[in-house]
Amino acid sequence: MLTSLSCMQDIMEVTNLFLVSLYSYLQGKRLCGRAPVQTFIDARVGAVHQICSRSGLRVQSSPGNLCISRSRMQVFDVISDQNCSMNRMRVQKGSQKVIVACDKVNNRCLPVHFEKNRVDILFPAGPQQH
């Protein structure tokens, strides 16, 4: 039983550290309350960039420049208010295929905008579903 309690305390410490880091980031970048829900992708920058290349797929239902990742990525939806109160900040963690708008930047096709995945809404983090 002590092992379970210790493990649970470790999880709580990591969760609290993450929330404090996220809170500091939002405050430092003046992003609190900027939008009703802000989404953050927990993935290597290179993995997100690759969505705009052969690693991603073009979104067929979109006439524009949207591409979707082939695999799921960890995503955090964050709700915050203008006052940036940590007590009122809400975070939902999940896993989904990520959609981005791709444009040519410095002669490279790169993601320039995150698009909410309305079909593949957040799934609990875990094994990929195909």
Domains of the chain, start order: 18-117 (3.10.130.10)
Spatial distance between the Cα atoms of 81 and 25, rounded to a whole number of angstroms: 14
pTM summary value: 0.71
Give the tens place of pLDDT for each residue, 3-57.
455 555 555 555 667 778 888 888 898 888 888 888 888 899 999 999 998 888 8
φ/ψ bin of 30: left (φ > 0), alpha (ψ from -120 to 50), beta (otherwise): left
User: Can you tell me the distance from the alpha carbon of 46 to that of 100, in angstroms, rounded to the nearest whole number?
Assistant: 14
